[in-house]
Structures are given as C-alpha cells and as structure tokens.
C-alpha cells in the first residue's frame, strides 16, 4: 500500500470507538510503517531501494528490504496485541482495545495484497504476499484500491459524526 489506504481502517473504526481520538486510530493503522522507519533508522531492519515505480512495470527493487520486526506476520500480531493491551489500560474497555488491535493488524492484511516479501516470522522464514505491486496492472489496482478504501473510511467516519451530532 502507498500508505493512505492504511488510514481507512482508522477512519472507519471511529464509528465504533467514538471515545478514541481520531489521531490515535490513524496512527494505529500506520503502526507498522512507523516501526519500519524507526527500525530501519536504527539499523535493525534494512531499507528497500526502489528503482522503478510506475503503472507499466509495477514496483521493482534494486535491493529488497528485510522487515521482519515491523512487517512480519508474527510481529504484526505482537504489535496488534500490544496496542490492544495499551488501549485497554487507557480505556478499560475490551471492545475499544480489540478495535485498536484490529486496526493495527489491518496494516499487515493490506500489505499482504501489495507485497510478496512479508516474512512469516524473522529473517530466513518464508516470505508471503500476493505481490500485486510486481506488475503494472497490479500496482494500478492497488493504487485505485488505496483511494477507494480511504474514501470509504472517510465516508464512514463522517456519517458516524453526522449521526452523533444529531443525538
């Protein structure tokens, strides 16, 4: 995903967790990328070097990155559970903490569509993902999906705000 599609679950989640500030939900959807930035800056994960990114060829890497700590399936589940636990400490509500954990985990689910290099566990474990970014048409599809997901998330958010304002 380009990043903007990861905001959609946060916008949509606001309708079922009105007590949570929208910025918390939006950050939850971007947790994996925030961790990737921190881990790659610290040298824990390697940065990918992209040579081509267009709708003819898709995304081509000069050097693919390794990101098991931020984007691996196992660690994504850990980050989601950790986020849910932290949310429970703040809100003391199982539903709210579950929703926040699911928003965090939604990042991995959306990346599964886009990438083909998501480790199941750590370095050396099998890589998974549909890899739609690897072709021009797949990359175009993912770009359109990104925009549609964001639009849907924002629409759900504003519809819920409008409904709440009427009460």
For residue range 102-133, what is the model confidence (pLDDT) as tens digits? 999 999 999 999 988 899 999 889 989 998 98
Global pTM reads 0.90
For residue range 58-87, what is the model confidence (pLDDT) as tens digits? 888 777 777 999 999 999 999 999 999 999
Neighbours of 87 (CB within 10 A): 24
**For residue 9, what are the CA distances in angstroms to 3, 60, 103, 121?**
12, 28, 6, 24
pLDDT at 11 over 80: yes
Mean pLDDT of all residues in 158-165:
80
pLDDT score of 166: 67
């Amino acid at each position: 995903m380009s990043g903007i599609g990861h905001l959609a679950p946060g916008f949509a989640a606001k309708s079922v967790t009105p007590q949570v500030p929208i910025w918390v939900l939006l950050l939850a959807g971007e947790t994996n990328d925030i961790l990737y930035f921190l881990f790659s800056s610290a040298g824990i994960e390697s940065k990918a070097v992209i040579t081509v990114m267009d709708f003819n060829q898709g995304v081509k890497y000069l050097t693919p990155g390794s990101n098991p700590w931020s984007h691996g399936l196992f660690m994504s589940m850990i980050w989601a559970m950790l986020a849910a636990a932290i949310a429970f400490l703040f809100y003391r509500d199982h539903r709210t903490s579950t929703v926040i954990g699911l928003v965090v985990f939604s990042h991995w689910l959306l990346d599964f569509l886009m990438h083909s290099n998501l480790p199941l566990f750590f370095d050396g474990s099998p890589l998974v993902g549909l890899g739609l970014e690897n072709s021009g048409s797949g990359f175009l599809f993912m770009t359109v999906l990104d925009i549609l997901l964001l639009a849907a998330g924002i629409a759900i958010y504003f519809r819920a705000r409008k409904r709440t304002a009427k009460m």
